[in-house]
Structure 1
Amino acid sequence: MPSLPTEATGDIDNNGYLDAHDFHCLALRSCVLEGKGDCSAARLQKYQHIMLSLWEEIAQLADFDKDGTITVEEFKQAVKNSCVGRKYEEFPQAMKAFIESNFRMIDINADGVIGIEEYRYDCVQRMVLEEIKVIDDAFNSLLNDDDRKKGGLTLARYQELFAQFLGDEKDDCQAALLFGPLEL
């Protein structure tokens, strides 16, 4: 499996491990992004419930030492145990919910397709890049003919690529570009 970027593990506060705090932050992020800046109390409460449930499921899968935190190594081992060699449909519900939440956060206009502009936006928020071409090349290398017809990545295609990324143990897995032009 390629090296996991922090967003693939959910460590959004970048402290080196996953814990309940990451999921509280993820709830707020999801609420604000879905609301295009608006954060209603009802939507925030919905996301807090979803993310707390997601944290509890992921902790059961990956917090092997039961210390309330999940290290990158624990997360990688849980992914290996739950995802390597499996199709998306066979993933644990927590992993599927996490992947679908990531898709919704990147799909800014909520049209069901991650287009090149949304992909660029996601990349530049997380990476320091000098040229747009490297982002565009990474995005275009992910697309098949059907994706090009649809204008980008649908949820089903994103799920397929995410499953390839998690389940492929080769260092040069093309699906790693789902997170941008990463060094492999």
Structure 2
Amino acid sequence: MAYSWDNRVAFVVRYLYDIDNNGYLDAHDFHCLALRTCVLEGKGDCSAARLQKYQHIMLSLWEEIAQLADFDKVPDYDGVVTIDEFKNAIQHSCIGRKYDDFPQALKAFIETNFRMIDINDDGVMGVEEFRYDCVQRMVLEDIKVIDDAYNSLLNDDDRRKGGLTLSRYQELFAQFLSDQSEACPAKMLFGPLEL
């Protein structure tokens, strides 16, 4: 059940968007996400121009998520998106679709997320970068489970290139959200998941 579609989407909310860990999404999460992204991608540097860029990206993502997911906003918009509302939005806007058909703000987030993970800026997510990304979110005691997760994502072309390129990451992220089967080829995109 750890790799069910429901659990994968809940993972995205919990570990990628719900920065303040209060169990739901709101504008505060995306303001904090902009700052975090700026600092991580800048490896500690947080220029005003880059911060402004990420504020635009993250607040656009929030507005898009709120529009797609906050179904109880009429007539009482409560300003929050629950996990169930987010799942409904993903189901409506992503299931069975390829990356190019995803909402624009979500695509911008996925590209930004890749750039944060690509620590050495070579355009390829190697195993070391994947490990670093995984241990920031999860409590793991065995490097082998992380490496196995990473290796399960690679095809022959990925191995020739030395890891996951942006286009391959986009493809896998789209599968992670759009494929409802528990056998989803991208189920390990964020490492071994917990229930």
- Paired residue for 2:19, among 7, 12, 35? 12
Alignment deviations for residues 8-31 of structure 1 (CA, whole Å, 9 cap, x no partner): 5x1122211111111111111111
Q: How does 1:160-175 map to 2 (within 5 A)?
A: 160-175=171-186
Give the equivalent residue in structure 1 for 2:57. 50
Deviation of the 1:46 alpha carbon: 2.0
Gaps of 5+ in 2: none
Task: Measure the CA separation in 2 of the matches of 1:119 and 1:2.
Answer: 23
Aligned length: 183
Unaligned regions of 5+ residues in structure 1, if any? none
1:135 and 2:146 correspond? yes
Deviation at 1:7, TM superposition (A): 2.7
Give the deviation of 1:183 after TM superposition: 4.1
Match of 1:36 in 2: 43
Q: Name the CA distance, whole Å, in 1 between partners of 2:124 and 2:51.
A: 24
- What is the TM-score with the length of structure 1 in the denominator? 0.94
Does structure 2 conserve the Cα–Cα contact (< 8 Å) formed by 1:2 and 1:176? no
Does the 8 Å CA contact 2:6/2:87 hold for their aligned counterparts?
A: no
Q: Which of structure 1's runs of 4+ aligned residues deviate more than 3 A?
A: none
SS of residue in 2 equivalent to 1:175: coil
Aligned mates of 2:54, 2:34 — CA distance in 1:
5
SS of the equivalent of 2:187 reads helix
Amino acid at match of 1:167: S
Q: Which amino acid aligns with 1:38?
A: D
Cα deviation, residue 68, structure 1? 0.9
TM-score (norm 2): 0.89
Q: Which of residues 96, 107, 117 in structure 1 aligns to 2:118?
A: 107
2:170 is matched with which residue: 142, 150, 159? 159
Alpha-carbon separation, structure 2, partners of 1:133 and 1:50? 35
User: Pairwise mapping of residues 118-133 of structure 1 onto structure 2 (< 5 A)?
Assistant: 118-133=129-144
Quick one: distance in 2 between partners of 1:88 and 1:76?
A: 17
Q: Secondary structure at the match of 1:179?
A: coil
CA–CA distance in 1 between the matches of 2:173 and 2:50? 26
Is the CA contact (8 Å cut-off) linking 2:26 and 2:81 kept in structure 1?
yes
Paired AA for residue 59 in structure 1: A
Identity of matched residues, %: 79
Distance 2:187 2:22 in 1: 22
